[in-house]
A and B are shown apart, each in its own frame.
Chain A
């Protein structure tokens, strides 16, 4: 066998024998303690529910069924989302639409929120941009029955408030940012780390004002 058969453990240095590095460790904890006590260092705690962490536009939260300008659902009951869903938690029943120009519409569109694993496959699958996700994560249910949310509930709470949208096919705001970054790059003004810091600070300073409209429960 080409491998050694006796391990060689680490040997203590003299200082370690004498417990000296302990002091260094204590200094670290003391520094943190005093720093936090005097508030010189920022505290990392997010004071939920008053303050909310700024999640990105891609966050996969509660689903939204989008509507056409006339208020009807965009969904054409094509079952693609239900097919793509690994949790098989979307239940659709299709019905013929009175308007002949519109193929079909969902008579029933339920998502079992307790089964859903928030993978976003339904959003990817939808050919009509009829289902998107919000960045709402405040969900809790008191029983299994209420966890099956219907199409009315999926449509209701968030319509097109940009700030509440999550994972979806298009991100106009990202396009904007990309364009700006490109401009800055061309103008020779790029300060990546500074940019990141500004973002961090902005996120820390301005807790999102939008108070949650309790989703369900």
Chain B
């Protein structure tokens, strides 16, 4: 029993470590924020330093969706579909005022925040956020995932003990 839980915990930890240090972002860039996203991956800021450089345009290969830019009602079904296509576990970073809340476009064709259709993990304000701002957001996401997985581990352990004793 002990051996088994030790193995699963270690594997979980390893998984978490790997996950945290190699997000594969899916840039859902539509507007001005996408230009700043390009700065983040280009040489001045170079997201590769954190292991996040594997920018994937295919939802099936990525785990963090970075929504950079205004999402209009016309784009909404596409965004939703792409989010649904991403395999679990998946996270969403909403970059910029538009994606977070619609920004100053309180208008007839602009979605007032992508959280109307997809759950958002980190909101990064700014219009556009500076590249550092986005990186800060992504690092915050990393912290969040760490926290969450710690909590999950704890729960699992508690749960595991329960089932163990029940079996015994």
Interface string of A42-63 (1 = CB under 8 A from B): 0111111100110100000000
Interchain CB contact under 8 A, A137 and B122: no
Interchain CB contact under 8 A, A52 and B124: no
Alpha-carbon distance between A88 and B104 when the two chains are bound, in angstroms: 7
Partner of A45, one of B43, B124, B125: B43
Alpha-carbon distance between A113 and B101 when the two chains are bound, in angstroms: 10
Closest to B121 in A: A142
Alpha-carbon distance between A112 and B44 when the two chains are bound, in angstroms: 30
Alpha-carbon distance between A140 and B46 when the two chains are bound, in angstroms: 20
Partner of B103, one of A117, A138, A143: A117
A80 within 8 A of B: no
Alpha-carbon distance between A144 and B120 when the two chains are bound, in angstroms: 10
B26 within 8 A of A: no
The residues of A that contact B127 with a CB separation of less than 8 Å are 116-119
Count how many pairs of residues, one from A and one from B, have CB atoms less than 8 Å apart in the complex.
Answer: 95
The residue in B113, B126, B127, B131 that gathers the most chain A C-beta atoms within 10 A of its C-beta is: B126
A116-B97 CB under 8 A given contacts A45-B43, A45-B45, A139-B125: yes
Interchain CB contact under 8 A, A49 and B139: yes
Interface size on B, residues (CB 8 A): 32
Alpha-carbon distance between A115 and B113 when the two chains are bound, in angstroms: 10
B16 within 8 A of A: no
Closest to B102 in A: A115
Interface size on A, residues (CB 8 A): 32
Interface string of A147-187 (1 = CB under 8 A from B): 10000000000000000000000000000000000000000
Interfacial residues of chain B within 101-124, with CB under 8 A of chain A in the complex: 101-104, 106, 113, 115, 121-124
* Known interface pairs A46-B44, A46-B45, A147-B123; 15 further A-B residue pairs with C-beta atoms within 8 A, sorted by A's residue number: A44-B44, A48-B135, A49-B132, A49-B139, A53-B132, A87-B103, A89-B104, A115-B102, A115-B103, A117-B103, A117-B127, A139-B124, A140-B123, A144-B115, A144-B123
Binding site for A on B (CB under 8 A): 43-46, 49, 97, 100-104, 106, 113, 115, 121-127, 129-133, 135-137, 139-140, 144
Binding site for B on A (CB under 8 A): 43-49, 52-53, 55, 86-89, 112-119, 137-144, 147, 217
